[in-house]
């Protein structure tokens, strides 16, 4: 059934060639896996010699600081918030310029020193949309604007219009603020949200970025890179153009009543609201590429690392698709976000034992196949932190990096404030060595699963989160049963791609294009196991229009099962492929596999990740698994001749492999947290 | 490879406890909640959930039921608008903890064994609409406890009345509760070791309606609200002993 195809023809479209409404979200040539890496983010005091010395053991591939942004990203280079709050006079323009120049030199020296210690990519903080100040008291960004000429020696552009004109606007023209205007950390100044389509804001942010590049930074971390909800004149004009590029005049007439205004009511699930959301996504995407271009013109290349994947990993398919890395700031949940086993008392001596696993965001990366990978920033509980029981430890650090390597096709587990966690440096050293030694087994590979879970990203922009949520739940459940499971989005969806899978699950996909429906019907007709979740599957087309029951009935009839109610019916009455891992042991082991090519694969890598790792600085338990038997389905025509087991910090070992019915049978003698199995 | 196509649907099961519940308004809780189920150690309980959508939110219910050892016995996701009835797998246990996470959507929970809802933590008991009378076991050693009420949405509030075991009124909290309010309740010695109750009604002192309201119970007691007085009386002390011991253990750590 698994018919290999030479070319995924539908993926040949380039990002710029999606005027036809068939592709409501962009598509591009698939970007295969990348080498995972280590990463530190630290907003503490970094300019001491001790801090730099701390980078010598296990230097991170990527480091991100706040203090390396030469100008304050929110308030500009002339603001002294402490003095303002104390009622004291701020430094004069001359003093501010001198301080700026000194800081600039300090930043340059730090970057050079970090590079000398082996850090590959040094980045600093900027915010996609925030400035702070007080327009009436001429504080913060306004003080800088008033003294623009004083900084002309630092290659300032022509003075833009007053910063108050940079603001995002509500439909009625009033200011739109993310967070609150009276944001406490800014008091007595205000927090403002600027529009990424406003050329006056561009002038300021371009200077901030160019100064970063001139100081030697390799790129920037772009915070709040989802916070665009603006109806300013630039956006309104941009939206008009956006629609006219995507739709023919007669379509605009038919679908939008000839009206190209942005949707003001975003609570609906109509096409105008979806297009408004997609326009903002594209606005952010273009702005991120603008930042890259500004930095590249000075630095030669420029790393773009936006924040905004938390609960929205699908943003890798839209606004972050050309970024290098996206942060998933995993701040929600009583169990925190660090991977492993969290145990928490609820009531009356009853504990919830929760498996924290970041499968969803990581699996989206190879499903989308963009350049962007996931940086997982985990919290130790939220809003209340509990480091002892939910914080990271050495084993959690290994597990975090293993998740990125195994399931993300690259990316990283973010190590926060390393000075507080002495274990981080040796873990980085070990994993750096492992990733470097096996780089060819991490880079340029393609997911190889038994089951695909079809989770298109488009419904999210129609305010239909069921696909995203159910897809994640199905993914976790099936991977928990020892199956190799891939997500599949519009970017990787095609008849050829479907044919690689023994089973395809479409969970709560109410919005489905005619092409997708046809491909799924054909897949089932060709013998594929198709499982739909939700009797209202394909109830709407890609433009959000209701689809007649008669038109979607062929899909429901073609499916092997149409589940309603709950997803635990999967694997019960509904047949699924035999899992790779048996039910007898290693029930917290999750697996993912990759091939060197979808077109005639010659080898297979299987990643084994054991989540039986206690979370918390007060804990260090690992439930290692002995004699883990795996039965691995191989691509058609491939025969396993040898298997090599690779474990971080250990020598590679050969293990026995036997072929049985197209499957490679192996036994991993001992699995602690992570192992990479290479089958040739 | 194909066998006959199948369409499976969950048939709503009319359970005796569901019929009983008709006499009182059903309890709809929004946002994540915990429920405690008291088993008999001989027969596995059966839980039933209905998932209600609010403001067109599509988030389904992630339901996990674990036993006293923390092992997850049941783990499923129920789609919004749907109902599911499941017997808890595995050897019957004396107690279970059910975690229901439906984000800002709501659920109606029921079980064929005594059960209570956890009324502390981030949401307390976060109910929507009318609420049945709920029972609180106040242990022998409880001299006082606290009731907190909040209803952050505009024009929503309620009148929450705490009743002594004999039905007399111990406390009334009435208003819109945009700002959280908290009251200390003194427990007369004669009324300890018994089941008190809470009722909800439309507010009388504010131009608001009983919609989304959060009630928190805090202090030296088990913050569980039971849907039957008999259940609170029968199991309250046992759960308090467990709760007290667990808190002492946590404190020691």
Residue range A502-547, pLDDT digits in tens = 999 999 999 999 999 999 999 999 999 999 999 999 999 999 999 9
Closest-CA residue in chain A for B95? A350
Type and span of the H or E element at A111: helix A93-116
Phi-psi region of A78 (alpha: psi -120 to 50; beta: other; left: phi over 0): alpha
Exposure string (b/e) for B38-76, b if CB count within 10 Å is 16 or more? bbeeeebbbbbbbbbbbeebbbbbbbbbbbbebebbbbb
Q: A475 contacts in B (CB within 8 Å)? A: none
B237: which 2 tokens? 């002390």
A607-643, pLDDT tens digit by residue?
999 999 999 999 999 999 999 999 999 999 899 999 9
Residue B249 has what pLDDT? Answer: 87
Question: Would you place residue A8 in the very low, low, confident or very high pLDDT band (cuts 50, 70, 90)?
Answer: very low
- Cβ distance B242 to A348 less than 8 Å, yes or no, reads yes
3-state SS of A559-627 is CCEEECCEHHHECCCECCCCCCECCCCCCCEEEEEEECCCCCCCCEEEEEEECCEECCCCCCCECCEEE
B127-150, pLDDT tens digit by residue?
999 999 999 999 999 999 999 999
Q: 3-class SS at A267?
A: coil
Measured between CA atoms, how close is B86 to chain A, in angstroms? Answer: 10
Total Cβ atoms within 10 A of residue A50: 8
Q: 3-class SS at B94?
A: coil
Measured between CA atoms, how close is A564 to chain B, in angstroms? Answer: 5
- Whether A427 shows a pLDDT value over 90: the answer reads yes
Q: Percent of chain B beyond pLDDT 90?
A: 78
Question: Would you place residue B11 in the very low, low, confident or very high pLDDT band (cuts 50, 70, 90)?
Answer: very low
For residue B249, what are the contacts with CB-CB under 8 A and spacing of at least 6?
none
A309-349, pLDDT tens digit by residue?
999 999 999 999 999 999 999 877 778 999 999 988 899 99
- Whether B153 shows a pLDDT value over 70: the answer reads yes
Q: B122 contacts in A (CB within 8 Å)? A: 334
Q: A343 contacts in B (CB within 8 Å)? A: 70
CB A341 within 8 A of CB A354: yes
A241-273, pLDDT tens digit by residue?
999 999 999 999 999 999 999 999 998 899 999
| Among B7, B57, B96, beta carbon nearest to A562 | B7
A271-280, pLDDT tens digit by residue?
999 999 999 9
Residue A331 has what pLDDT? Answer: 78
**Paired strand residues for A671:** A625
Q: What angle do CA A121, A127, A128 make, to 5 degrees?
A: 105
Closest-CA residue in chain B for A347? B243
Closest CA to A406 of A611, A165, A544: A611
Mean pLDDT on B189-207: 97
- Provide the ipTM: 0.88
For residue A437, what are the contacts with CB-CB under 8 A and spacing of at least 6?
none
Q: Percent of chain B beyond pLDDT 70?
A: 91
CB A433 within 8 A of CB A427: no
- pTM to 2 decimal places: 0.88
A178: which 2 tokens? 């993310």
Residue A676 has what pLDDT? Answer: 98
Average pLDDT over chain A, rounded to whole?
A: 94
Mean pLDDT on A120-127: 98
B209-253, pLDDT tens digit by residue?
999 999 999 999 999 999 999 999 999 999 999 999 999 988 776
B41-60, pLDDT tens digit by residue?
899 999 999 999 898 777 88
Question: Would you place residue A567 in the very low, low, confident or very high pLDDT band (cuts 50, 70, 90)?
Answer: confident
Q: 3-class SS at A468?
A: helix
| Among A345, A473, A557, beta carbon nearest to B246 | A345
Phi-psi region of B34 (alpha: psi -120 to 50; beta: other; left: phi over 0): beta
Task: Report the relative pairing of strands A625-633 and A663-671 from DSSP bridges.
Answer: antiparallel
Residue A415 has what pLDDT? Answer: 98
For residue A20, what are the contacts with CB-CB under 8 A and spacing of at least 6?
none
- Cβ distance B60 to A561 less than 8 Å, yes or no, reads no
Residue B2 has what pLDDT? Answer: 29
- Whether B13 shows a pLDDT value over 90: the answer reads no
Question: Would you place residue A564 in the very low, low, confident or very high pLDDT band (cuts 50, 70, 90)?
Answer: confident
Residue A571 has what pLDDT? Answer: 67
B59-104, pLDDT tens digit by residue?
889 999 999 988 889 988 898 888 999 999 999 999 999 999 988 8
Residue A582 has what pLDDT? Answer: 84
- Cβ distance A574 to B6 less than 8 Å, yes or no, reads yes
- Out of A213-227, A499-513, B19-33, B36-50, which region has the weakest mean confidence (pLDDT)? B19-33
A161: which 2 tokens? 């219009």
- Cβ distance A269 to B56 less than 8 Å, yes or no, reads yes
- Cβ distance B75 to A561 less than 8 Å, yes or no, reads no
Question: Would you place residue A3 in the very low, low, confident or very high pLDDT band (cuts 50, 70, 90)?
Answer: very low
Mean pLDDT on A95-105: 97
| Residue ranges in A216-354 assigned as alpha helix (H) | 233-246, 249-256, 271-299
């Amino acid at each position: 059934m698994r018919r290999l195809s030479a070319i995924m023809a539908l993926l040949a479209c380039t990002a710029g060639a999606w005027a036809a409404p068939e592709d409501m979200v962009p598509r591009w040539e698939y970007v295969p896996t990348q080498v995972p890496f280590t990463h530190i983010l630290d907003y503490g005091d970094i300019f001491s010699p001790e801090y730099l010395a701390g980078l010598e053991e296990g230097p991170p591939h990527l480091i991100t600081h706040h203090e390396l942004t030469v100008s304050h990203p929110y308030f500009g280079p002339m603001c002294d918030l402490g003095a303002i709050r104390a009622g004291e006079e701020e430094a004069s323009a001359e003093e501010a310029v001198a301080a700026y120049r000194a800081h600039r030199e300090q930043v340059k020296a730090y970057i050079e020193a970090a590079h000398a210690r082996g850090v590959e990519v040094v980045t600093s903080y900027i915010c996609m949309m925030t400035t702070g100040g007080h327009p009436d008291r001429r504080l913060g960004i306004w003080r800088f604007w008033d003294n623009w000429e004083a900084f002309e020696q630092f290659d300032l552009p022509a003075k833009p219009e007053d910063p108050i004109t940079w603001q995002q606007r509500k439909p009625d023209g009033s200011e739109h603020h993310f967070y609150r205007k009276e944001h406490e950390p800014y008091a007595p100044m205000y927090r403002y949200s600027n529009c990424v389509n406003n050329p006056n804001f561009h002038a300021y942010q371009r200077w901030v970025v160019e100064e970063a590049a001139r100081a030697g930074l390799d790129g920037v971390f772009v915070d709040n890179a989802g916070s665009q909800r603006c109806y300013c004149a630039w956006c309104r004009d941009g939206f008009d153009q956006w629609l006219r590029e995507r739709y023919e005049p007669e379509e605009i007439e038919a679908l939008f009543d000839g009206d190209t205004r942005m949707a003001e009511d975003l609570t609906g699930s109509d096409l105008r609201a979806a297009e408004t959301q997609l326009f903002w996504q594209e606005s952010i995407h273009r702005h991120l590429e603008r930042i890259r271009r500004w930095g590249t013109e000075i630095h030669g290349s420029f790393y773009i690392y936006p924040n905004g994947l938390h609960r929205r990993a699908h943003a890798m398919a839209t606004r972050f698709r050309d970024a290098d890395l996206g942060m998933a700031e995993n701040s929600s949940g009583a169990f925190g976000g660090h991977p492993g086993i969290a145990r928490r008392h609820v009531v009356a001596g009853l504990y919830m034992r929760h498996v924290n696993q970041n499968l969803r965001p990581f699996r989206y990366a190879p499903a989308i196949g963009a350049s962007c990978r996931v940086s997982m920033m985990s919290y130790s509980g939220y809003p209340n932190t509990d480091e002892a029981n939910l914080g990271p430890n050495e084993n959690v650090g290994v597990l975090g990096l293993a998740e990125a390597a195994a399931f993300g096709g690259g990316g990283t587990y973010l190590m926060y404030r390393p000075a507080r966690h002495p274990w981080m440096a040796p873990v980085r050293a070990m994993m750096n060595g492992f990733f470097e030694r096996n780089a060819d087994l991490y880079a340029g590979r393609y997911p190889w699963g038994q089951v695909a879970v079809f989770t298109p990203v488009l419904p999210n922009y129609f305010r239909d989160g069921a696909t995203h949520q159910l897809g994640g739940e199905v993914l976790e459940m099936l991977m928990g049963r020892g199956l190799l499971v891939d997500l599949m989005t519009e970017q990787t969806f095609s008849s050829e791609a479907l044919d690689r899978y023994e089973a395809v699950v479409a969970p709560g996909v109410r919005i489905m294009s005619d092409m997708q429906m046809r491909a799924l019907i054909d897949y089932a007709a060709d013998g594929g196991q198709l499982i739909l979740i939700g009797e209202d599957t394909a109830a709407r087309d890609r433009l959000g229009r209701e689809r007649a029951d008669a038109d979607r009935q062929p899909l429901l009839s073609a499916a092997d099962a149409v589940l309603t109610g709950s997803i635990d019916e999967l694997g019960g009455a509904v047949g699924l492929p035999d899992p790779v891992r048996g039910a007898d042991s290693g029930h917290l082991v999750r697996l993912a596999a990759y091939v060197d090519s979808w077109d005639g694969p010659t080898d297979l890598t299987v990643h084994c990740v054991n989540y039986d790792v206690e979370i918390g600085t007060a804990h260090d338990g690992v439930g290692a698994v002995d004699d883990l038997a795996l039965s691995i389905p191989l691509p058609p025509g491939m025969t396993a001749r040898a298997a090599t087991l690779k474990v971080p910090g250990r020598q590679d070992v050969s293990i026995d492999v036997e072929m049985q019915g197209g499957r490679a049978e192996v036994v991993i003698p001992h699995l602690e947290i992570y192992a990479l199995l290479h089958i040739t | 490879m194909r066998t006959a196509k199948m369409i499976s649907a969950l048939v709503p099961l009319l359970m005796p406890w569901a019929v009983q519940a008709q006499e009182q308004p059903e309890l709809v809780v929004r946002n994540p909640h915990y429920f405690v189920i008291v088993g008999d150690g001989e027969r596995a309980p059966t839980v039933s959930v209905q998932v209600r959508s609010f403001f067109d939110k599509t988030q389904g219910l992630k339901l996990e039921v674990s036993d006293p050892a923390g092992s997850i016995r049941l783990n499923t996701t129920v789609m919004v608008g749907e109902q599911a009835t499941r017997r808890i797998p595995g050897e019957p246990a004396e107690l279970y903890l059910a975690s229901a996470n439906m984000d800002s959507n709501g659920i109606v929970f029921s079980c064929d064994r005594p059960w209570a809802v956890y009324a502390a933590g981030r949401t307390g008991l976060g109910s929507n609409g009318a609420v049945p009378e709920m029972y609180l076991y106040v242990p022998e050693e409880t001299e006082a406890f606290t009731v907190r009420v909040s209803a952050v949405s505009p024009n929503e509030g309620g009148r929450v009345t705490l009743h002594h075991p004999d039905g007399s009124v111990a406390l009334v909290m009435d208003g819109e509760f945009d700002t959280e309010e908290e009251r200390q309740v003194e427990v007369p010695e004669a009324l300890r070791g018994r089941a008190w109750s809470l009722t909800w009604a439309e507010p009388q002192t504010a131009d608001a309606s009983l919609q989304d309201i959060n009630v928190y119970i805090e202090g030296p007691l088990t913050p569980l609200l039971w849907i039957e007085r008999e259940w609170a009386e029968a199991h309250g002390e046992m759960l308090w002993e467990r709760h007290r011991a667990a808190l002492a253990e946590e404190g020691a750590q």
